[in-house]
Amino acid sequence: MSRLICGLLLLSAVTCAVASCTGHSESNNEPVAPVAKPPSWDDQSDNLWPYRSQFKAHMRHLWLDANRLVSAGRGDARPTFNEIYASAADISRRAGLMHGFWKGIADHAQMLQMAMEDDDRPGATEEMRELGLSCDGCHMATWSPAYLHVTLHTIDAWKANQIKLGMEMETDKEPPPEIPNRVVMQSMWKQFQAAETALKAWNKPEALRQVEQISGMAKTRAELWRTVQQNADALVELARAERKQGLSEAYTNMTAACRTCHSAFAGPERPVHNPMPWDGPTK
C-alpha cells in the first residue's frame, strides 16, 4: 500500500494537469451545469458530487457547528445546552479525525528515526510505509472523488460492472488555484519521495533530514487540531453539566486555532469564513 500514495498522487488529476499530460477530454460526458436553486433541500438530481472537495465540506460543517454554538449560547438567555452538546461533539469528532492522521504521521516519523538509529532497515522501511498510509488516509477522506480518480466516467463504468479507474482519461483542465495548503502538500510529497530514495540507499542523514521536515509540519497541524478538539470536548462537558460559565472561553480558544490555521494555510484566493466571535459586534 505504500504505492497507493504514489499511485494516487503521481496519477492524480492535479499532478497530471500540472505535468500537462495530454488526457482525452470528457466532452462526451460533460457534467450537467449546476442549477442556481436546488429543487429541494435534499437535491436528488445532484450528480456532480464527485467533483466536490470533501475537505471543504468537512470545513463547512465545522463552521456551521461553531456558529450554532454561538447562536445557542450567546446572550443573557439560558443556553440551549442540547444544541451546544450536539455541535461541539460534531466538531470534536471531525477534529479528532484530522488530528489522528497528522499524529499518525508524526508518530511513524519518530519510530522511523528510532529504527534508523538501531540500523533496522526492514523496520525503517515499514515505518516509512505506515507514514505514507497516514497521508493516504487523509486523502481518501478529504479529496474530491475526482482527485481520487472517481469521475462520472468511472461511475458509469462501475454501474456497468466494469473495473475502471480511468486515470489516463481524466485530467483536470482547470486545476485549482495555488493555496498555501496545497504548496505545503507538494513539498511534503517531494520530501516523502526524497526520504524513500534515501532510505533505499540507506543514506540515514538524508532520510532523517527529509522526514524531520514532514514531521515538523505534521506536529504543527496535529497540535492545532488537538486544540480544536480539546476545547470542543470542554464545551461538551459544560453542556452536559448545563453550565454557562466557561462556554465563551472554550469557544474562543477553539476558534483561535481555526483562525491560526487559516491565516497560515488557507490563502486569500477564496474567502474563508471564520466562525462568529462569541460576543462580536453585529455591525
Query: Among 70, 84, 105, 234, which residue interacts with ligand HEC (rule: CB under 6 A)?
Result: 105
Q: Least Å distance between CB 161 and ligand HEC?
A: 29
If the CB atoms of residues 152 and 257 are measured against ligand HEC, the closer one turns out to be 257
- Does residue 85 bind ligand HEC (CB under 6 A)? no
Quick one: which of 138, 125, 112, 123 has its CA closest to 213?
Answer: 112
Give the per-residue contact string, 174-213, with ligand HEC (x = CB under 6 A; - = no): --x--x-xx--xx-xx--x---------------------
Per 3-state DSSP, what percentage of the chain is helix, strand, and coil (rounded to 5)?
65, 0, 35
Query: Which long-range contacts link 232-235 to residues 24+ away (Cβ below 8 Å)?
Result: 232/88, 232/89, 232/91, 232/92, 232/95, 233/88, 233/92, 235/69, 235/84, 235/88, 235/91
Query: Among 62, 84, 115, 198, which residue interacts with ligand HEC (rule: CB under 6 A)?
Result: 62
Residue bearing cell 471564520: 274
Task: Count CB-CB contacts under 10 A for residue 214.
Answer: 23
Footprint of ligand HEC on residues 130-159 (CB under 6 A)? 135, 138-139, 142-144
Quick one: which of 96, 130, 106, 99 has its CA closest to 219?
Answer: 106
If the CB atoms of residues 111 and 157 are measured against ligand HEC, the closer one turns out to be 111
Footprint of ligand HEC on residues 8-47 (CB under 6 A)? 9, 14-15
CB-CB contact of 59 with 141 (8 Å): no
Phi, psi dihedrals of residue 199, rounded to the nearest 5°: -65, -40
Stretch that binds ligand HEC, among 39-47, 79-87, 112-120, 265-273 (CB under 6 A): 265-273
Q: Which residues contact 222 (CB under 8 A, 6 or more apart)?
A: 99, 102, 103, 105, 106
Stretch that binds ligand HEC, among 40-48, 56-64, 73-81, 152-160 (CB under 6 A): 56-64
Interface size with ligand HEC, residues (CB under 6 A): 47
Give me Rg for the CA atoms of the chain: 22
Stretch that binds ligand HEC, among 58-66, 76-84, 153-161, 242-250 (CB under 6 A): 58-66
Query: Where do contacts with ligand HEC occur on this chain (CB under 6 A)?
Result: 9, 14-15, 53, 55-56, 59-60, 62-63, 66, 91, 98, 101-102, 105, 135, 138-139, 142-144, 176, 179, 181-182, 185-186, 188-189, 192, 214, 221, 224-225, 228, 254, 257-258, 261-262, 265-266, 270, 272-273, 275
